Amino acid sequence: MGLLCFSLMVIASCSPPRLPVATDLYFNENAVFVLKGNGSYLNNITQQEISDVFGSTLKNELQHSLVNVQRGSFSNTPFRLEINQFRLKQSRGSHTSWDTCGISVTRVQKVRMDLEVTLYKNGVKIKSWDLCAKDKEGVNKVSPSSSYSSSSTDECPDYEADPGTVDVLELVKSCAKRVYPKIVRRMKRNL
């Protein structure tokens, strides 16, 4: 019997947190501020798009924890969530190395997103979180050495690319999924 109780406690601790009763949370979308660098991945991303993706992902995740997210105009609920900042940065770099095919230059595009979000109850700050998500895409360019015969250079590719590209909106979704259990736990402590 003791082992059964222990097993149930372990399973319960691994499950997503839930509130004892359904509780409203106002998501203040107007507080979003985007700082972004310059680069191909960030050029077509808008503040509204980031806010929509974050808000809808967070709403879907919080529904499972009995949190009803109120979006849009002001809602009269004690809990309020504000996104203070989204900081997006794209950087570029390169690395040169020598391998069996000759000189290899790897060009890397990195995208980093920092998110600062704050939870309030009755206008009083409960907790702030700083989250980070990053991704990169690397492209290798190989320059075969002139000392290689044509048959050996056939085995050396001109270009190799890492599979996939950076999806900034997926970074936004991953931050929403990471912060939601923290929000629920803080709301539960302050009911």
pLDDT in tens, 3-42: 555 554 545 456 778 889 999 999 987 766 666 667 777 7
Residue 134, in any domain of the structure? yes
DSSP E strand stretches across 100-123: 102-121
Residue 3, in any domain of the structure? no
Look up residue 24 and give its two tokens.
Answer: 């409203």
Residue 2, in any domain of the structure? no
| Interacting residues of 155 by C-beta distance below 8 A, sequence separation 6+ | 101
Residue 133, in any domain of the structure? yes
Its pTM stands at 0.72
Residue 10, in any domain of the structure? no
pLDDT in tens, 63-115: 999 999 988 766 788 999 988 888 888 887 777 877 777 777 777 788 888 88
Look up residue 172 and give its two tokens.
Answer: 């936004």
**Could you tell me if residue 120 is left (phi over 0), alpha (psi between -120 and 50 degrees) or otherwise beta?**
beta
Residue 32, in any domain of the structure? yes
Q: Which domain holds residue 152?
A: 20-189
C-alpha span between 131 and 184 (Å, rounded)? 16
Residue 5, in any domain of the structure? no
49 versus 13: the higher-pLDDT residue is: 49
Q: In this structure, how many other beta carbons lie within 10 angstroms of the beta carbon of residue 176?
A: 24
Quick one: average pLDDT of 184-188? 94
Count structural domains, the chain. Answer: 1
Residue 93, in any domain of the structure? yes
User: Domain holding 100: CATH number?
Assistant: 3.40.50
Question: Longest Cα pair distance anywhere in the chain, in angstroms?
Answer: 75
- Looking at the predicted structure, is the pLDDT value of residue 43 above 90? no
